Amino acid sequence: MASEGLKQVLELLAAAPIAEGEKTVQEQRDGMVAATAAFPVAEGAIIEPVIANGVPGEWVSMPGASDKHAVLYLHGGGYVIGSPITHRSLSAAIAGETNSKLLVIDYRMGPEHACPAAIDDAVAAYQFLLDQGYDAANIAISGDSAGGGLTMATLVALRDKGIALPAAAAPISPWVDLTGNSPTLVSRADVDPMVQKDGLLQMADHYRGSLANDDPRVSPLFADLKGLPPLLIQVGDHETLLGDSEELDKRAKAAGVESTLEIWDEMIHVFHMFHFMMPEAAEANRRIGEFFRTKWGVAAANAAE
């Protein structure tokens, strides 16, 4: 049964229906900033601007965070909108749950910068973490929606470049298939208040540039996933992108990757962002923290340093 918090979120979303096709890219970007401006950031959160190997971003952490562990966080927004600012509430929540510092980057987006610019920025930021002295075994990567897809594309790029891989990754409601062929784009359309096929395809065109929609850099679902680190994939049952997570989990396991798929009943796209309203979202963020700390070899009881 849906929580009261979910009901409130659905009411808010219903009052502001999405109509991306009728808006310019800048209007969509401004709209996301406005929509997330009131999302509370955890009290005491430490926000520090940073340039990570030429990529702008910010460090997000909570007091007492470990100086040994870091998460590269890649924000969502269809590779077209979103920023560290729009995701600051979520990144601070995950920073608290992981007891680590999050490096949240402002990677280049379409249509101004086509794929693989975003991947290049994410790889550069990850290398920055290594250059800062973080051991790969103490790093994780996470991201939501397009950021979840970018998480997977980044892992593949790191592997192909021979760079030491992080201990784990957690794609949240990942968008990994930009072809528009996933069956849940249709079967979940009536219950998803946030993401619809037409808007996705528009953003895919902005992002892919001259590359095909099924190019593994654009749609990492079609990449060779062998050798990637353990994955925790979280997605809501009421998402048009549900099929992306299901197929990613299937293909990862077939490639020998340790993958855990969590499908959250009645949950919507990137429900994690509503952690301050929904107990389900707070619990999902907690599980990401637990997953990373386990893969880092940090027991929950000893998480604080």
Please give the positions annotated as active site: 145, 239, 269
> What's the gap between Cα 157 and its chain centre?
17
Three-state SS string across the chain, please? CCCHHHHHHHHHHHCCCCCHHHCCHHHHHHHHHHHHCCCCCCCCCEEEEEEECCEEEEEEECCCCCCCCEEEEECCCCCCCCCCCCCHHHHHHHHHHHCCEEEEECCCCCCCCCCCHHHHHHHHHHHHHHHCCCCHHHEEEEEECHHHHHHHHHHHHHHHCCCCCCCEEEEECCCCCCCCCCCHHHHCCCCCCCCCHHHHHHHHHHHHCCCCCCCCCCCHHHCCCCCCCCEEEEEECCCCCHHHHHHHHHHHHHCCCCEEEEEECCCCCCHHHHCCCCHHHHHHHHHHHHHHHHHHCCCHHHCCC
The total of other beta-carbon atoms located within 10 Å of residue 114's CB is 19
